[in-house]
Amino acid sequence: MGSIAPPPSSQKPDHYQIAIVGGGIAGLTLGLACAKLGIRYALFEARSNLAPAEGMAIALQDNGLRILDQLGVYEEIARHTVPMQRWTHYDENGGLLCETNAFGYQRHKFGYGMLGIERHKLLEIMAGELRRRRRGNDLIRLSCRVSTFQEDEDKVTVTTADGDVITADLLVGADGVRSSVRTFIDALQAGGHPSKSDEYMTTSFANVHGISYPVDGIAEGDGITVYREGTSLLIYTGKGGMVYWHVFEDLGETVGMSRGPRYYSGEAADAFCRLVAHVPVAPGVLFGDVYARRTAYIRLALETGIAETWHTARTVIIGDAAHKMVPHAALGGNQAMESVALLLNELLGSGSGSSSGRSGALAIIPLPALCERRCARTSKLRSMAEMTCRTQLSPHGEHTSATYRQLPGLTDADWLLKITMSFLGAPALEGVPLTERGRFYDESLASFQERFATQTYSNKAELVGLPTG
């Protein structure tokens, strides 16, 4: 997939407009967007494969799907998923708390709607498109860990663990929650002192996340939440009724990320899942029935936090490196895509003349303003995801019971309003045409916003465009 060798000392290293460290969802989105926009990039991924057969499943939301649609991969993703329709909330004894078809309406009203897909398949589709769009002067390196960075006035120098060197106008760290680019930024900020990432990236929760073959009683398009003190369950479905599930666990303490449990499967995960085998997850279905049909599972800690510093003059972090959330509201991957869109919109935005042409050197852009905006939005969403997590794991807690008690009263309109509000202000990629679906989405959202701003509605159903009868 392209290779570089260390330049002889007299020769200048190859130069790129953007160096991307990490080929996960954030890095692949950025690579695809660079390809669309004609930006010359070098992407480095430590693993040997851009679509490793690991990572279970992921739910994609409208804000991410609109960007993926612009990048030309939505149709292929849609072929491997089914839209979510119905979400049911149960108490720990299988008592029905609330059932909503808001996700079905969301798709109908706005064009996208939540989709569940195996993560491996998503990455495979994105990586396949990246390969197809790669031009001769783009670089994609696999099995290649970037180890050191150096920033000068006019460039960033990136050195891999193998000793290869390139330079770039801008370095983007899309290297996940244990980001070395973030450590580099922290060190510059703190005059070389060690990164304090444990202070802003913490772990209070863990989960076993798995995939099971279809289970009678759980239909394609179904989602389920079971609220339970200390151990809660979240289930959604993919194509053919494949069941994607999480068993969440409150660790009972909050520790710095480096002290959280890392990765463990096998006996420990198995024993943990068996503890909740008796919990009802649908009429006539126990979690044990889902677990018995598992194809894969993994137990891992769930870090959460917002990086203290997101950028230097020519270096910026995106995705989990900058904003890490618990998975309860299906936000992290979708937010990574938003970060890519905003970064490129700023870079290529004509208003401030932020680029001196797509083939020339990228001018320095006002990273502080951009990061401040992203930090504000992602901080809010991170807190929202954590609150959702806490409510599911502690439905009778002091700070959560009010939300839990509201569940039986929530209507489809309430849920759809909540979902829609979270997409307000989400960016698409400027300079890349929207598809017909993307335009429909924008128009529907704009008309919702208009009703909301002018208060020209008599009830919530009318506001979100649902039948009012």
Ligand X SMILES: Cc1cc2nc3c(=O)[nH]c(=O)nc-3n(C[C@H](O)[C@H](O)[C@H](O)COP(=O)(O)OP(=O)(O)OC[C@H]3O[C@@H](n4cnc5c(N)ncnc54)[C@H](O)[C@@H]3O)c2cc1C
Answer yes or no whether residue 294 interacts with ligand X by CB under 6 A: no
CB of 377 to ligand X, least distance (A): 14
Strand residues in 213-262 grouped as ranges (E) = 222-226, 231-237, 243-256
Q: Is 334 among the residues that bind ligand X (CB under 6 A)? A: yes
Q: CA-CA distance, 393 to 405, in Å (whole number)?
A: 14
- Binding-site member from 113, 210, 238, 333 for ligand X (CB under 6 A): 333
Catalytic: 297?
no
Instruction: Pick between residue 111 and residue 332 the one whose CB is nearest to ligand X.
Output: 332
Q: Using the rule CB under 6 A, is 319 a contact of ligand X?
A: yes
Measured between alpha carbons, how far is 355 from 359 in angstroms, rounded to an integer?
A: 10
DSSP state of 8: P
d(C-alpha 336, C-alpha 309), whole Å: 17
Q: How far apart are CA 344 and CA 72, in angstroms?
A: 17
Would you count residue 330 as binding ligand X (CB under 6 A)?
yes
Catalytic residue chosen out of the listed positions 74, 200, 227, 236: 227
Does position 21 interact with ligand X (CB under 6 A)? The reply is yes
Complex with ligand X: residue 327 or 465, whichever CB lies closer: 327
Does 145 bind ligand X (CB under 6 A)? Our answer is yes
Part of the chain binding ligand X (CB under 6 A), chosen from 45-53, 83-91, 215-223, 416-424: 45-53
Shortest reach from residue 330's CB to ligand X, in Å = 4
Amino acid making up residue 150 = Q
Residue from 18, 22, 34, 155 binding ligand X (CB under 6 A): 22
Structure tokens at 443: 């128009």
CA distance 344 to 174: 14
Nearer to ligand X, 237 or 334 (CB): 334
As measured in angstroms, the least distance from the Cβ of 351 to ligand X is: 28
Amino acid occupying residue 399 = H
Find the shortest distance in angstroms from Cβ 159 to ligand X.
11
Under 8 Å between Cβ of 39 and 358: yes
Residue of 17, 19, 20, 24 interacting with ligand X (CB under 6 A): 24
Helix-strand-coil percent breakdown of the chain, rounded to 5?
Answer: 40, 25, 35
Q: Please list every residue from 191 through 220 that binds ligand X, using CB under 6 A.
A: 207, 209
Does 113 help bind ligand X (rule: CB under 6 A)?
Answer: no
Can you read off the two tokens belonging to residue 343? 């970064």
CB of 177 to ligand X, least distance (A): 6
* 46 makes contact with ligand X (CB under 6 A): yes
DSSP bridge pairs for 21: 44, 173
**Tokens at 276, concatenated:** 């909740």
Instruction: Identify which of residues 107 and 451 has a Cβ nearer to ligand X in the complex.
Output: 107
Angle between helices 436-454 and 62-70 (to 10 degrees): 140
The backbone torsions φ and ψ at residue 306, rounded to the nearest 5 degrees and listed phi first, read -125, 125
Catalog residues that contact ligand X under the rule CB under 6 A: 21-27, 44-47, 58-59, 145-146, 174-176, 180, 207, 209, 302, 319-321, 327, 330-334, 336
Active site residues: 227
